[in-house]
Chains A and B, each alone.
Chain A
Amino acid sequence: MDMLIQLVTAFTGSLGFALLFHVRKEKLLLASLGGLLAWGVYLLMGLATDQEVVRYFAASVVLTVYAEFLARAVKCPATLFLVTASIPLIPGGSLYRTMECFMTSDLEAFSAQALTTVLLAVAIAVGMLFPTAIFQLVRRARIKKAPEIPGQERSPLS
């Protein structure tokens, strides 16, 4: 029951943020479904592991693949789906609790909570990097025949 509520509210929460960020029409639904998908993967991973970082990482990877595919299907930046659908994952509550501990000068709880927040954020950020890099590699391999854009060398990081 709890999980069902979480899935539904992950959907509506993402929908709310998509509206807040001025997403329009059919992309609203796709973005909210992404939020549902991300939280679904997080819950599913709970069966395999109880490591929060791994669960967040897996959810982020799946979400990014979803966003990159959609970006190509409906021709718009992947960011649109990444930002809105990662809403249920982002450690907003955790970040708040960290600062709450700081305010009450509970330094032990603060350091533990701060570590959790940063670790989760890193897990999500790194999870987003891998699929994006792979999609870029595929695209670059496809357009290799086309003339290179002159003028600047590509940085190895981007």
Chain B
Amino acid sequence: MEDHPYHFFSPDELDQLERIEEAGRANEYLYRILDIGQYMLQCGGEVSRVEDSIRRLCLSFGAERADVFTITSSIVVTVYARRFGAVTQTRRITGSAYDLYRLEQLNQLSRRICAEHWSLEQTEEALEAIRSARQYGFGVQLFTYALVSSSFALFFGGSLLDAAASGVIGVVLKFLDRAIRRTEANAFLSSLLCACLGGLLAGLAVKLRLGDDAGMISIGNIMLLIPGVALTNSLRDMFSGNTISGLMRFIESILLALTIAFGFALAAGLL
């Protein structure tokens, strides 16, 4: 400072300015880290995995302390370092669908960032690459719905005819699902409509002698709709100490299962 002829700021003020600047940068980093965390959670990552990844990322970006609290619908992070003080950000999370390929990629990304101390731009680029990766096309998804439906129709003891009928209904349900998804309707409404249509078609198939047992045809379609994975995972969450997340998922899956049963009951009433 001595050799500078004009100094508008005292050393104290300069120090403060630097802190503000550092805090701004910390905020930018934190924003990107939350992007990664949010994306992991939405792709089906467990709460504990997301918390752990966020904490490691924060520490690798220079935080001295990072406190992360995650539930299925929100992430709260506070990082602290002497250089910039405490910085907090929260993120509201809505909607999630299993995408295990992206989850794997995000997991690798966060490990590499921690090991190699990436810059902000590098991180953004990699995240964008994961975001825009190609997924299975609609044709594969149709095949998948048919495969799952017929597999479980057979699994639970249906005949080959039942399996075939279940597979065809599965394909129809996928079309309905896509149509409803375009309107961005409520998730429960979508399940209700799918269940109702599934029940109607299964009853119709038996009447037209294209199937033997409506129950067996339907069970294949039910496995597609029913949140069995979510129920099991909600219990896993609770057992590993994430009680709130577990409870939220538990209630959600019970409600969804109720909606589906209601849909099939409605179809039975209509037939």
Contact = CB atoms under 8 A, between A and B. Distances in A.
B258 A83 contact: no
A13 B152 contact: yes
A152 B147 CA distance: 46
A25 to B, nearest CB: 9
Nearest to B246: A125
A92 B239 contact: no
Contact of A9 (B136, B145, B152, B257): B152
Given A77-B49, A151-B55, A151-B65, A21 B98 contact: yes
B102 to A, nearest CB: 7
Contacts of B257: 95-96, 98-99
B88 to A, nearest CB: 15
Given A20-B141, A79-B100, A157 B235 contact: no
Given A90-B228, A150-B64, A21 B151 contact: no
Interface string A16-48: 111111111000000000000000000000000
B264 A90 contact: no
Contacts of A19: 136, 140-141, 143-144, 147
A49 interface: no
Interface string B232-271: 1101100111000000000001000110111011000000
B90 interface: no
A2 to B, nearest CB: 7
Contact of B258 (A22, A86, A99): A99
A77 B143 CA distance: 26
Interface in A94-122: 95-96, 98-100, 102-104, 117, 121-122
B148 interface: yes
Specify the main secondary structure of chain A where it touches its partner.
helix
Contacts of A126: 239
Interface residues of B, number: 60
B27 interface: no
A83 B98 contact: yes
A93 to B, nearest CB: 6
A9 B235 contact: no
Contacts of A122: 235
Contacts of B227: 95
Contacts of A87: 228-229
A80 B239 contact: no
A128 B236 CA distance: 8
Contacts of A75: 108
A86 B98 CA distance: 14
Interface SS majority for chain B: helix
B155 A10 contact: yes
Q: How large is the interface on A (under 10, 10 to 19, 20 to 34, 35 or more residues)?
A: 35 or more
A84 B100 contact: yes
B227 to A, nearest CB: 8
Contacts of A96: 219, 222, 226, 257, 260-261
A47 to B, nearest CB: 20
Contacts of A15: 147
A9 B154 contact: yes
Given A22-B136, A83-B229, A102-B261, A129 B100 contact: no
A95 B231 contact: yes
A2 B155 contact: no
A81 to B, nearest CB: 9
Contact of A103 (B98, B155, B261): B261
Nearest to A149: B59
Interface of B: 44-46, 48-49, 55-56, 59, 63-67, 98-104, 107-108, 135-136, 140-141, 143-145, 147-148, 151-152, 154-157, 219, 222-223, 226-229, 231-233, 235-236, 239-241, 253, 257-258, 260-262, 264-265
9 contacts: A19-B140, A20-B145, A21-B99, A21-B100, A90-B231, A92-B228, A100-B264, A149-B55, A149-B59
